[in-house]
Amino acid sequence: MTSPLERLGALDSCVVSDALDHLGISGATTGIRPMWGIPKVVGYARTVEVVDAAAAGDVRGRHLATQTVVSSGSEDVIVIANQGRTNVSCWGDILTAAAQQRGIRGVVIDGACRDVDAITEAQFPVYARAGVPVTARGRIVERATDVPVSFGGVSVRPGDLVIADASGVVVVPADRADDVLAAAERLVARQEAMLAAVREGRSVVEVMADTQFSSALSGTT
């Protein structure tokens, strides 16, 4: 039986976003891009909530994301919710090395990372809003891990499915995964039929307006 991650890995972020739209579910983010190349990533979300140190009160302790790294594994993607901050990093080369040791699939950040050259050399998938040299020390702190977070305007819970590729980062709620994946797979079939029609010489104007292709979505809700 094909696992949800295998099914998700056969898709791309655009068709998953379209499936979410069709089902009325929020999940697509904007502005979070790969820091090198186009390293596609799919996995289960392990969340880290980051807050401003000055406003955090008595939140202190371990370094950002370290506990999440050591407790994650080969099917996981670390999701760091840093409220879109691009003036301070919340991920770097040492965390990257540790994540690779654990077999973690990648990290997606609603904020910035640092050590982009080292991350690129390590070929570890990191998605972020920016690369900056500024350290997190004294600026931001970890408030919680494995909790629901707001990530690029999308609610993410631990165990949700994450897909990230050159077009961006999309999150699929775990409790709707079957519905979303089925809808996305039907959309792929529709797109393939439309592409075939165009390549056979049909006008793209006709193809885009032809209601016969909408039948691929039959059975979704």
Residue type, 8: L
Strands (E), the chain: 33-34, 41-52, 76-89, 106-113, 126-128, 130-131, 140-145, 149-151, 154-156, 161-165, 168-172
Q: By C-alpha distance, which of 142, 110, 105, 146 is closest to 127?
A: 110
Report yes or no: 62 and 144 within 8 Å, Cβ to Cβ: no
Q: Rounded distance, CA 204 to CA 184, Å?
A: 22
Residuewise pLDDT in 10s, the chain (221 residues) = 899 999 999 999 999 999 999 999 999 999 999 999 989 999 999 999 999 998 766 555 668 999 999 999 999 999 999 999 999 999 999 999 999 999 999 999 999 999 999 999 999 999 999 999 999 999 999 999 999 999 999 999 999 999 999 999 999 999 999 999 999 999 998 887 777 778 878 777 776 666 665 655 554 33
Q: Report pLDDT for 207.
A: 63
Please tell me the predicted confidence (pLDDT) of residue 192: 77
**pLDDT for res 83:** 96
What angle (nearest 5°) sits at the alpha carbon of residue 140, between those of residues 134 and 144? 140
Which domains are seen in the chain, by residue range?
Answer: 26-172 (3.50.30.40), 179-217 (no CATH)
Contact 154, 27 (CB under 8 A): yes
3-class DSSP assignment, residue 174 = helix
